[in-house]
Every structure is written in structure tokens, then in C-alpha cells.
Structure 1
Amino acid sequence: MSEMRSLSKSAEAWLHGKNPRTWSRAHFSTKHKSDLLLNNNSECFNKIILEARDKPILTMLEIIRRKVMTRLVSMREAAEKYPGPLCPRIQKKLSEIVNQSNNVWQVYAGNEKYEVNCGLGNKYVVDLLNSSCSCRKWDFSGIPRKHAISCMQLLAVSPETYVNTCYIVTTQLNIYSHLINPVKGPIQWEHAKDMEPILPPMIRTPLGRPKQTRRKEVDEARKSGPKLNKTGQQANYTKCGKTGHNKRTCKGIFGGTQMANQSSSLQILNQATSMDNTASQPFLSQQSSNLLANFRAKLPFKRNNPLGQ
């Protein structure tokens, strides 16, 4: 806790408000043979029900039932193929610990208790009768460590006999010995006669677009980082290539001022046609025709002719 305080006082104060049995291995209970600080069981369960959790109640239960039924069969068949008395991962971990137990010295104290010296003043008390060690790793995990294995080698006893029974193959076979019976399809189900029909719940559709992602906690890491707002950012309209406006307020040939440019062209054309045609009739008619041709070229596609021609 002193090291935690030197790193962050707020984190040290937050941990003080939590029960040490939930986050510190030194305070774990030795009843449950596990020294993990992870929630792998919850993560595995969430992954299994990912396909079924958004389905109706009967469909969801059928998917979960089928997954559990097939998993029991696969785990039982895998346990039957284990060669040794222990599960393969536990056997591999135990073999690595046996190789580390050659650099310790043990002294017998009687009543199956030993004092194990690891050098530099590190001494541990091993009790083979109660399957306990002062380092508490054997008590937490159920797998003997190098201090206890050195004492077992002194007695010429196999370390596999001191491993907790939850890691034995026979225990695994007993766990997966039961099965879930197959079920007929919904069409072949018998209908309950003396029971009122169960109506579906009322569905209330909230406002807005439905959220597809899971709500994350405040201290949970985000893949894309925190979401930023657009306050203080400058808009950029890609068609005209200028900043400070969008499509609705564009001052170029696109967007809001296009009709203003068209109206100015109409005014020029009306002025040209309202002038006296007696003196310069050929010139004005040619000028008006040019203005009309330019105006039609600027009109958007499939737009009605404002002159009615």
C-alpha cells in the first residue's frame, strides 16, 4: 500500500474502501483453490450467450440448452483421453515446479512439518499433513510449490498425490458424467390445457436510434478513445473547397446562392427585353438571346424554364 500511495494517492484511498478479500491475494480464502484475479468465467459466459441473448425467451433458452448439452459431451470425451492422473495443464505446471525445487534445503521438524531454507534468510514452513505452506501459494491454488515438493522428494513421495482433487482426471469425469436429455421440437410440444395463455410484455420503443454497443464503465478502456464534440471546430464544404460554411450557407455556385445568381440573371434579361427596340433592335435581340443561352446553360438538370419558353 505504501508503494501504491507513492504512485497515486487517489488509487490508494479507493482501495482502502474495498474489501481486501476481493483484490489482494494475501487475503484470499483458501477454501476455493484459485489464485486468479480475473473474471474469465463471466467473459466466457458472455461469449457463449452472445448469439442467444437478443432472441425471444424460448429461442434463447433453446440455444443455451443446446450449447450446454454439446459442451458436456465434448468435455467428457476430452477428459477420457487424458493420459495421466492429472489434467494436462496441471501436469505441465507441476513438472516445471519440480525442476525448480533443486536449489532449496529442507530440515525435518517432526509430525510431517519441515523448515525449508531458500537462501538469504528466506525460510518457509511446510506442513504436508494439512497441505499447507507459509508462502500460501499451495493453500490458494491446491498445487504444491517448490518448498513442499523438495520435502516430498526427501520422502520419495510422488507430488501428484498431494495435488488437490479438483485437478484429478476422475473428478473431471464425475463433473461431466451427467447429461442433458434431447428435447423434441416446439411443434411436437404438448399444450397446457388448464392454464391461461401468457401474453407477451408490452414493448415500449424509446426515442432516438437504438444503441447496439454495450454501455462501458467509467474506468473501462475504450478502443477508439474518448468521444470529442464539435465545439470550436470550423466547418468545411468539400464542393467549393472553402471553410467556415456548409452546403446550406455556401456563397459559391453551389447551395443557397445559386437561386440568387439566377434571379440576377433574370433581372438583366428583363431589362434587356424592356428597352426600346426601335433604334437597336438587332443588337438587343442578339444580346438577349446570348443572355438567355448563358442562363439556360447555368440551369441545373431537369429544372423548369422560368421564362416559360
Structure 2
Amino acid sequence: MRDLLGLDGAFMKGHCHGQILTVVSLDSSNGIYPLAYAIVESEYTTSWKWFLECLGDDLEMGYNSNFTFISDRQKGVIPAIAQLFPNAEYRYCLRHIHENMRKQWKAREYKEFIWRCATATTARSHFTGRAISDVLLNNMCEVLNGKLEKGRDKPIITCLEFIREYLMKRICNVVKDQRKCQGPLTPTATKLLKKNEQQAAEYIARWNGGGKYQVAGPWNDQHVVDIDQMTCTCRKWELTGIPCRHAIATWSRAMWPKSDCPTRIIPPPYHKMPGRPKKKRRQSMEERMSQKEKSSQIESVIASQSQTQGSKEVEMLSRKFGSVTCGKCKQKSHNKRTCKGQGVGQQEGGGANEGHGQE
């Protein structure tokens, strides 16, 4: 059981009037853990004080106990706790706080804002790690009251027996579920820890030389983890008792257990092929065809520009897909170095004939 106690009261429905006071806690798997119940006349301070005194005797809770109480601010419960357990922490049920706010602020946006503020771990400045729980609602008592609804319309003795038999059946069912568990942790704790392990792979931890680490994530969030104190600035490790993703990211490879496998894993054999190794990947037929189509389109665009814009602007274009013109014979499809002099001979012969004709 955790050091978190939920208090609540429910009225009797039959001809016997009164209130059923219940105390419920949480187990290690976040399931309800009923502790005590009683039927009183009404929810007065004296009734709650008597009920809490009996509870303190059973749980050996002294004057300086550090338990954490949560309720929906029932009548008389706060003064009774302040008188009997002055060092205890107290939380209000968030759902009942919102119900009181709806009387003045009825818009849906106010509900979203209050839940965002309450679920932010850094906003829980007055929450300590005593209870090892980040519970914000008193649903554990509401769940128990829902199971006891059929017995609330019966006489007092019959109602008490109905509650006792239900709790006896519940304990047997919990024991059966415990025998099915595998591993040192409960199913809920195992699920939360695996989720944090998956998210920790995206974080980078830097050691500061002592017991602290600076952990940075992909969402520009940065936290400080203290391994010695088992705390993190996100406060999830301190509130829930389960290492957060920032704390898991600080676990180095030196802490990993060594494998007892007798075989040694070696890389597969590799046969070196002759020639220089290729660095570019092989293109598929579709990629080659698309590349040829693009080159033909570019050539057509260059040809159209050469007709309209003139030769000067064409020379300024890229020569990647253009035709080469020889500087000697002024013929295309070859350059000055590979020129065989055919065009030069034709031009010189033509010039000699013209000179002979003039003579």
C-alpha cells in the first residue's frame, strides 16, 4: 500500500439513515486498496475525528505521521485531519474543484486549461514524494462506493456484512492476479517502465563529473537528473517512484549486464570483387527512362531559346546538354582538339577558287 489515503462518504438509501465513511488507498499496481469503513449518523467533524482515530490505531499512525490525504472536501474532514495529523499532506479532488468552477465559468476552455495546469508535473510545487503517486482525483473512493451501492439500501447489520463479503471476494481475486504476474514488477509498473524505455532512446545524456546528468531531447526540452538523490527536474521520478525517460537515458553501457553467451559473433565473409568499387547506386529502368526524357526536354528548350534569343544568350547557357562547336572549322559535334582539318581545307579551297575567279 502507498502512503496515500482517500476519504469519502456516501449516504444510506434505506429506512436506516446515516453515512458510510470509507478509506481507500492504492496498491503497487494502481488498484484500489480498501482499508476501513464505518456507518455514522452524519458527516460532522466529531464523526470524522472518531473514524480517523480508529484508523490511526489500526495503521499505527502517530501524531507526526507523513501520510497524504485526498478527498472532495467533505464536511468536517479537514478540521479532523488538522487536529489528529498536523504534519500530513492534503490534496483536493480536481474533478470537484472543476465542478465548483463551473458555477461561474461554464466554457469548455476553462476545463482544458485547468487540466493542463494540473497534469503538468512542474506545476505541482507543493506535491512531495511521500505518497509516490501523482493521483489528482478521488476516483478510488468513487469506485468503492459504486460497488457498495446495492448494499446501501439494506439495514445496518446487513449492509456491513455486504461490504465485508465484497472485500473478502476482492482480496481473493487480487491474490489470483498476483500469481499470474511474471517478473519483479507489477503489470502496471512494467508497462509504464517499457514506455519510458522506448522514449529514452531519443534523448542524449551528458555527465557533469558527479552524480548529475544533463539530458536533452528532440523537442528542445532539457532536464537535470540526479542519480544519487533519484530525482529529475521533470519531477515524474519523484512523484511516481518509476524512473522517467530522462533518468533511463543516463544509464550507461558500463552498467549493462555482460552476456554469458559462449560463442563469439563475427561478421560474415566478404569476397572482394575486381576493379574499383562503385559508390553510386544502380538506377532502375524507370529512373533511366525518366532521366532521358528530362534531357530531351532540356535540349528542346535550349533549341527553342537559341532560335528566339540569338547566339550570344545561347552561349551563356549551360554546356551540359548543348552541342559542341569547333573553333577551327566552325563545325559541330567535335571540338578544336579533335578537329581533323576537313572544314579548314574546304574553306581554304573555296577561298582559292574565288581568288582565281577574280584574277
Structure with a larger share of its residues in strand: 2
Q: TM-score, normalised by structure 2?
A: 0.36
Q: TM-score, normalised by structure 1?
A: 0.42
